[in-house]
Amino acid sequence: MKLPLEDFKHEIFSLREEETDSRYGKAPKDRSIKERINYGFILLDKPAGIRSKTAAYIAKNLMATLGANKMGYSGTLED
Amino acid sequence: MPLAINNATKVLPVLLFGGKEYIALMHLHSEVDEQLLRDTFNKFIGKIMQLPPVRSHVKRQYRQREIYYSEILEIDGKNVLFKVGVESGTYIRKLIHDMGEELKVGAHMTELRRTKVSTLSEKDNLVTLQDLEDAVYFYEKENDDRLLNKCLGSIESAIDFLPKVFISDTAVDPICHGSPLAVPGIVKLTNFEKDEVIGIMTLKGELIALGKSVLSTEEIKTVKKGVAIKTDSVIMGIGTYPEYRKIN
């Protein structure tokens, strides 16, 4: 059973051919740890019995030395 | 539970688009006929009206929510384990209560676990707080980044479901400053209509910003200039791509 957007693949159309300069930016898979943290995303298996907010706070503190200074989470369990 | 770090926090609002899936345990206040129970579950598929609970963060008025699917996994006396896919903003505790009322015996929720958020699901790389602590330890003390790499997903993987435009290197920096995207900057794109949330990407597949389409894909294909996407929230840092200078 699937949610409306699950496994939804968008077809990509090209308007023209164009190269990208390898000196700037980086494909997501080539990012360094620091960059991966800055644009990072974690699917946390939250332990039962603690609030989402607490779990996000713990995760942030764990990764603070690696440069994580903002940690956001999506939704509470109830909504 | 999806966690987003630093710049990635800006994509969190769009994650609520795709709906959610839960596994919940319903406790009936007295046993009911199985067929009646199954019929009642089926009655609560599709569009339902729901009054948010007393203790909630939204205005307490009836609102319509869609239940995409629901399936009973196990019935054990008064306990019913089921899986349900719902629109964002559906209260499961309330859904169970309302089904209990419909069955005329009453029911409440005893356990709840979210198994999917929009396109992310439990099958993807789930990380516990312990995993995370170990990963940070190995990285810092042993200089081993393998575990950490496994824990960290990319922001791009979280927005798979969004329609996108892929733009020229020269068009990237202005977007990082919040400028709207003009038609000539677009190299590739997916299908979308006006007023949709669009991921503005580089040709390398990095997410630059989220924006709202001013033109549809069909219109973009036919016009030569004008604003195509209005930039809303910028994720990429300024200076990642070179500053655009007008050559005259």
A22-26 contacts, C-beta under 8 A, 24 or more apart = A24/B169, A24/B172, A24/B240, A24/B241, A24/B242, A25/B169, A25/B172, A25/B202, A25/B204, A25/B206, A25/B240, A25/B241, A26/B204, A26/B206
Over residues B160-216, the pLDDT tens digits come to: 889 999 999 999 999 999 999 999 999 999 999 999 999 999 999 999 999 999 999
Residue B123's pLDDT is 66
- Which of 3.60.10.10, 2.60.120.10, 3.40.30.10, 3.30.70.3190 is the CATH number of B19-121? 3.30.70.3190
A17 falls within a domain: no
A68 falls within a domain: yes
Q: If contacts are CB pairs under 8 Å, which of residues 125-164 in chain B contact chain A?
A: 125-129, 132-133, 136, 139-140, 145, 148-149, 151-158, 160-161, 163-164
Over residues B125-156, the pLDDT tens digits come to: 789 999 999 999 999 999 898 889 888 888 89
How large is the average pLDDT for residues B219-242?
92
Residue B120's pLDDT is 74
A4 to B19: CB separation less than 8 angstroms, yes or no: yes
Residue A78's pLDDT is 47
Residue A52 belongs to domain spanning: 45-74
Domain boundaries, chain B: 19-121, 123-153, 157-234
ipTM of the prediction:
0.85
A61 falls within a domain: yes
A63 falls within a domain: yes
How far apart are the CA of A61 and the nearest CA of chain B, in angstroms? 10
Is the Cβ–Cβ distance between B141 and B215 less than 8 Å? no
Over residues A21-33, the pLDDT tens digits come to: 988 999 988 888 8
A14 falls within a domain: no
Whole-number Å distance between alpha carbons of A16 and B112: 49
Task: Specify the number of domains making up chain A.
Answer: 1
pLDDT > 60? residue A73 = yes
Tell me, yes or no, if B205 comes closer than 8 A to chain A by beta carbon: yes
How large is the average pLDDT for residues B99-118?
92
Residue B55's pLDDT is 79
Say which CATH superfamily domain B157-234 falls into.
Answer: PUA domain (2.30.130.10)
pLDDT > 80? residue B235 = yes
A56 falls within a domain: yes
Name the pLDDT band for B245 (thresholds 50, 70, 90): low
A12 falls within a domain: no
Written as one string, the DSSP assignment of B169-223 is GGGHHHHHTTPPEEGGGEEEEE---TT-EEEEEETTS-EEEEEEESS-HHHHHH-
A62 falls within a domain: yes
